[in-house]
């Protein structure tokens, strides 16, 4: 009987020892996991991600625009251009200006709409007090030109144009008004005395075919936005990604609400709401401690990843950064 009990005790001791060892091993494994886990999140020297590829801003090529403009590729955002005429303009000058609009509407893709508000694209003013001309025997019949231009886009975007008419047109065909309107569309003088853009007025001057072609080419491009990654840099520290990205809208209109997608390989890690990016504006986003896989070797930044914005160029929205071996 004693032996039996002793035997049982020994058996129990053996069982208890085995259990204790098992617990110890389990604890040891858990500890290893905990250390590994902590190691993943432990602050380390950040490693720089290097640019592998970035979709460069593409330039929309408009070959063969021979007519000289004040800046390269000047245009309004849309082919429908609004105008306002000041109440100081009397009937003759109003009808002369309207004739100039009608002339250009007939010859080009442009449309002009009367919009008597402060934010009209082209503002027409009238005065009988003309500025002094630089030379004798000349008078200033009118002035015109873009008064506000944005140069940070694919185009030199005219935000506002102004025309001032100082005299009634002495020629048939609204020559002065047409000359000034072409200035407001961004066209400079030329040295062809038969051209309506010759610096001094003669009644036989006409709109050059080249100017008509230039206008039609410039406005053949749809009025859309064009988002592009202007610059990006990123560092990775263990599981954490820090990045700085700048997104430019180099198009013709505001983008509307847009999202940036951040990918590790094919996997979308996170998306960021950039809001509306207005024309010529650069949105800057700084993100710290975005959790990614510690094995992630490349990160892709993708503007408008869900493709909700229709753009002039859909192929300049991505930047691919990679951890390169040293
Ligand atoms: Zn002029």
- What does the pLDDT look like over 98-147, one tens digit per residue? 999 999 999 999 999 999 888 999 999 988 766 665 554 555 567 888 98
State the average pLDDT for the chain.
84
Compute the distance from residue 211 Cα to the ligand 1 centre, in Å.
14
pLDDT score at 138: 53
Compute the distance from residue 60 Cα to the ligand 1 centre, in Å.
29
- The reply to whether 47-59+224-322 and 74-218 are identical in fold is no
CATH superfamily membership of 74-218: Collagenase (Catalytic Domain) (3.40.390.10)
Q: Is 88 left (phi over 0), alpha (psi -120 to 50) or beta?
A: alpha
pLDDT score at 270: 95
Q: Which two tokens stand for residue 17?
A: 């020892």
pLDDT score at 248: 93
Q: Taking the CB of residue 231, how many other CB atoms lie within 10 A of it?
A: 14
Compute the distance from residue 64 Cα to the ligand 1 centre, in Å.
23
Compute the distance from residue 251 Cα to the ligand 1 centre, in Å.
29
Compute the distance from residue 148 Cα to the ligand 1 centre, in Å.
18
Compute the distance from residue 180 Cα to the ligand 1 centre, in Å.
6
Compute the distance from residue 201 Cα to the ligand 1 centre, in Å.
9
Confidence of residue 64 (pLDDT cuts 50, 70, 90): very low
Residue 229 to residue 83: CA distance in whole angstroms: 35
- CATH code matching the domain that covers 47-59+224-322, chosen among 2.60.40.10, 1.20.59.20, 1.10.3720.10, 1.10.220.150: 2.60.40.10
Q: Which of 66-70, 240-244, 297-301, 322-326 has the lowest mean pLDDT?
A: 322-326
Compute the distance from residue 305 Cα to the ligand 1 centre, in Å.
47
* Spans of all domains in the chain: 1-42, 47-59+224-322, 74-218
Question: pLDDT at residue 237 above 60?
Answer: yes
Compute the distance from residue 145 Cα to the ligand 1 centre, in Å.
9
pLDDT score at 114: 95
Confidence of residue 41 (pLDDT cuts 50, 70, 90): low
Q: From residue 66, how far is each of 59, 60, 140 by CA, in Å?
A: 18, 16, 27
In this predicted model, which residue has the larger pLDDT, 17 or 266?
A: 266
For β-strands 156-165 and 74-75, DSSP reports them as: parallel
Compute the distance from residue 183 Cα to the ligand 1 centre, in Å.
7
Compute the distance from residue 200 Cα to the ligand 1 centre, in Å.
7
């Amino acid at each position: 009987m004693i032996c039996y009990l002793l035997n049982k005790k020994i058996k129990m001791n053996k069982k208890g020892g085995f259990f204790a060892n098992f617990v110890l091993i389990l604890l040891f494994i858990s500890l290893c996991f905990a250390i590994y886990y902590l190691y993943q999140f432990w602050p380390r020297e950040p490693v720089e991600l290097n640019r592998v590829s970035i979709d460069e801003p593409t330039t929309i090529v408009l070959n063969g625009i021979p007519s000289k403009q004040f800046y390269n590729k000047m245009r309004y955002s849309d082919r429908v251009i609004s105008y306002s005429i000041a109440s100081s303009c009397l009937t003759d000058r109003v009808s002369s200006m309207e004739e100039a609009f009608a002339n250009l509407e007939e010859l080009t893709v442009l449309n002009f709409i009367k919009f008597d508000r402060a934010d009209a694209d082209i503002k027409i003013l009238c005065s009988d007090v003309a500025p002094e001309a630089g030379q004798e025997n000349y008078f200033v019949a009118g002035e015109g030109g873009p008064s506000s231009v944005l140069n940070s886009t694919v185009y030199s975007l005219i935000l506002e144009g102004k025309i001032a008419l100082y005299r009634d047109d002495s020629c048939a065909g609204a020559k002065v008004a047409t000359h000034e309107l072409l200035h407001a569309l961004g066209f400079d003088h030329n040295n062809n005395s038969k051209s309506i853009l010759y610096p001094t007025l003669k009644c036989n001057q006409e709109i050059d075919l080249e100017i008509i072609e230039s206008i039609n080419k410039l406005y053949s491009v749809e009025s859309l936005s064009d988002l592009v990654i202007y610059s990006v840099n990123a560092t990775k520290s263990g599981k954490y990604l820090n990045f700085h990205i700048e997104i430019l809208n180099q198009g013709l209109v505001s983008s509307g609400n847009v999202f940036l997608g951040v990918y590790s390989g094919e996997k979308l890690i996170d998306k960021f709401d950039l809001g509306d990016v207005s024309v010529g504006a650069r949105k800057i986003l700084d993100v710290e401690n975005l959790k990614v896989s510690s094995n992630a070797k490349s990160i892709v930044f993708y503007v408008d990843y869900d493709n909700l914005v229709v753009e002039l160029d859909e192929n300049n929205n991505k930047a691919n950064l990679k951890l390169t071996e040293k």
